[in-house]
A and B are shown apart, each in its own frame.
Chain A
Amino acid sequence: MGESAITVKNLTRRFGDFTAVNNINFEVEKGEIFGFLGANGAGKSTTIRMLCGILSSTSGTAEVGGYDINEEPEMVKKHIGYMSQKFSLYEDLTAAQNIEFYAGVYGLENSHFDERYRWVIDMAGLSGREHSLTGELPGGWKQRLALGCAILHEPEIVFLDEPTGGVDPISRRGFWDLINDLSDKGHTIFVTTHYLDEAEYCNTIMLIHAGNIVAGGSPQELKTDYIEYSMYELECDNVIDAMESLRTKNWVEDVSVFGTSLHIGTNEEEAERKVREELSDAGIEVRRFERIIPSLEDVFVHLVQEDKRISR
């Protein structure tokens, strides 16, 4: 175990009767890419906002960069960069003016400014467009500029709240390359997302559901540790009917729809034969049946269902 950059202890946040974050605990190691996964409304943004000192916690606390978020929020702010879900730039200022503004706010030394300015412009690919209004830049550029402004001061820890929401797939890929570069340079990255494919890029993943942490570990650990049965994918007509007829069987652990196909989790040795029999009785033709390595999505769906079962 390396040193930890973030330590969360019994962190809780309630809004009235609603518990957005329920007594969560975890650690983030220095220099890793830490993915915080969950559906919309699961408590991801609330957690990230508490860690950045924007929201106060109802109870519990956390140390970020060695400072307590409730005791020394201003010290925390000196050591972090934060990029929110919305692109929080001044759209009526030019790209260059936004960089200058945030450089001023972060108190960047003049001698250091030129170098950082160039870095942001190059990183965001804004050469020649420095003097365009930020509001007129395409989404991917705005997003990289926002990242650049958030980390102008080279913070130890970078918080990214759904950084790739509403960005095209190519830009998303490019953005993750940037995140990897930052991590290589020693920055700790805390990123929330609900794209499960993005979670594969993370060193550690924490799954949050309805305010509770339901699982954590490396993507590999999640796939092997949490699913204790084999996973199969099958293609057939009428997946919904197929799912309904398989769900009630006691040898089926898990069944869910993935696009046009069905994922089935079972410990049954002769899974293929039994499934084909079952479905042909129901008049459904199976076109393809194969064993697969569970994806993070399978793990996620499994854990969320598990969690629902327990809480019921």
Chain B
Amino acid sequence: MFAISFVAPVFQLIMLGYAANLDVRNVPTAICDLDNSRTSREFVASFSNSGYFEQRYFVDEMKHIDGLIDNGEVALAIIIPRNFSRDLTAGKSPQLQIIADGSDANTGTIGLNYASMIVSEYSGDILMKALERRTDVGNTPKLIKAEIRVWYNPELKSRNFMIPGVLALLLMVVTLILTSLAIVKEKEIGTMEQLIVTPIKPHQLIIGKLAPFTLIGLVDIILVLLVATLWFGVPVRGSVFLLFFLCAVFLLTTLGLGLLVSTVSRNQQQAMMTSIFFIMLPMIYFSGFVFPIPNMPPIFQYFSYLLPLRYFFVIIRGIFLKGVGIAELWDQALILLLFGIGILGLAVMRFQKRLE
């Protein structure tokens, strides 16, 4: 019990902190330089200097690329045509071919984005140099330079984005499952029946069953926060107290759901399966943990409003990364609180001192 309640969340966070990482660096790349000129070599160098690509293979013929991509040796291939440098000097637009392995859509997309960024930068440079050489023009035209600043997570580390999410998930998993199992277990061993025939009040019974898991949940918050900040160096820019308080509000919803599951389950397997398939997985998929909500079909976007985790993600990421306070988060916090009261209230109503 101790291990499940306290060691497992820390262990999970450490594992997920490393595994739940969507950053794409060092995309394995194959280069097929058919031109093999000074210009083409310079162009290839601009890819390797970017840090996003690892030039794993140089091939002489295009047909070798198929095998490399099929085997998963490379995720991206860049093919420079035979007349690359000649066309450039002649003022023609050379055709460059880039092939990406779409079976890993995430790496493929990000790799392509990096590649087209490098290509457009390179073309820009060529254009500028050409224009500067044309002395007959008084005012040389300028390209627009975008000065990009990323706020809150300047290195765009996905870990900073994921770890607060993992904290929310762990809190949900531990309290939801432990609560529902603990109550259903008492049904199984018969002590629930014994308690039902005593004059104990339903609210006393519920408080008695929920109190330990509330405590476990609160201790888990502290443990997981410590690992997130000290081990992974994820910053907590906002108030730790506010974070802790809103985590407690979130616990109302998970404890309530746990209690609700226990009222519809006869045995522990049922409680476990109900918790996983009808509550946890939909929450993980639809509340914006990994998959962005704006990308979902509208009906699922509306559905996500029903998930308390959705609001909690906004809150927890806001406090961790943006350092925002209650002034910015009050609406999300209020909705979460209403969900908590609503779910817990429903569960308490359903939880009667009768077997059926």
Between-chain CB contacts (< 8 Å), 15 pairs:
A49-B355, A53-B197, A55-B355, A55-B356, A56-B354, A77-B199, A84-B193, A86-B189, A86-B190, A88-B191, A88-B194, A90-B191, A105-B195, A105-B200, A107-B199
Q: Mark B181-223, 1 if CB is under 8 A from A, else 0.
A: 0000000011101111111100000000000000000000000
Give Cα distance in the complex from A55 to B197, angstroms.
10
Give Cα distance in the complex from A150 to B198, angstroms.
9
Of all chain B residues, which has the CB nearest A75?
Answer: B199
Of all chain B residues, which has the CB nearest A152?
Answer: B198
Quick check: B198 and A102 within 8 Å, CB to CB? Answer: yes
When distances are taken between beta carbons in the complex, the residues of chain A under 8 Å from B353 are 53, 73-74
Confirm or deny: A28 has a beta carbon within 8 angstroms of a beta carbon on chain B.
no
Quick check: B190 and A54 within 8 Å, CB to CB? Answer: no
Pick the contact of B197: A82, A89, A107 (CB < 8 A). A82
Give Cα distance in the complex from A54 to B194, angstroms.
9
* Max count, chain A CB within 10 A of own CB: residue among B198, B353, B355: B198
* Chain A residues touching B, range: 20 to 34
Q: Which residues of A contact B (CB under 8 A)?
A: 49, 52-56, 73-74, 77-78, 80, 82, 84-91, 102, 105-107, 150
Give Cα distance in the complex from A86 to B197, angstroms.
14
Give Cα distance in the complex from A55 to B199, angstroms.
15
> Chain B's nearest CB lies how many Å from the CB of A143?
13
> Chain B's nearest CB lies how many Å from the CB of A144?
15
Query: Would A77 and B356 be within 8 Å (CB), given that A86-B190, A91-B189 are in contact?
Result: no
A-B contact count (CB 8 A): 52
Pick the contact of A77: B189, B191, B198, B355 (CB < 8 A). B198
Q: Which residues of B contact A (CB under 8 A)?
A: 189-191, 193-200, 353-356
When distances are taken between beta carbons in the complex, the residues of chain A under 8 Å from B191 are 88-90
> Chain A's nearest CB lies how many Å from the CB of B125?
73
Pick the contact of B199: A49, A88, A106, A150 (CB < 8 A). A106
Quick check: A88 and B200 within 8 Å, CB to CB? Answer: no
Of all chain B residues, which has the CB nearest A98?
Answer: B191
Give Cα distance in the complex from A52 to B198, angstroms.
9
Quick check: A84 and B190 within 8 Å, CB to CB? Answer: yes
> Chain A's nearest CB lies how many Å from the CB of B1?
10
Give Cα distance in the complex from A256 to B18, angstroms.
75
Quick check: A54 and B196 within 8 Å, CB to CB? Answer: yes
When distances are taken between beta carbons in the complex, the residues of chain B under 8 Å from A74 are 199, 353
Of all chain A residues, which has the CB nearest B200?
Answer: A105
When distances are taken between beta carbons in the complex, the residues of chain B under 8 Å from A89 are 191, 194
Give Cα distance in the complex from A89 to B199, angstroms.
17
Give Cα distance in the complex from A89 to B195, angstroms.
10
When distances are taken between beta carbons in the complex, the residues of chain A under 8 Å from B197 are 52-54, 77, 80, 82
> Chain B's nearest CB lies how many Å from the CB of A148?
13
Query: Would A84 and B194 be within 8 Å (CB), given that A56-B354, A91-B189 are in contact?
Result: yes
When distances are taken between beta carbons in the complex, the residues of chain B under 8 Å from A56 are 354, 356
Give 9 nearest A-B pairs by CB, closest first.
Answer: A88-B194, A86-B190, A82-B197, A88-B190, A105-B198, A78-B199, A52-B197, A77-B199, A88-B191
Of all chain B residues, which has the CB nearest A146?
Answer: B194
When distances are taken between beta carbons in the complex, the residues of chain B under 8 Å from A53 are 196-197, 353-354
Give Cα distance in the complex from A91 to B194, angstroms.
14
Give Cα distance in the complex from A88 to B191, angstroms.
5
> Chain A's nearest CB lies how many Å from the CB of B313?
37
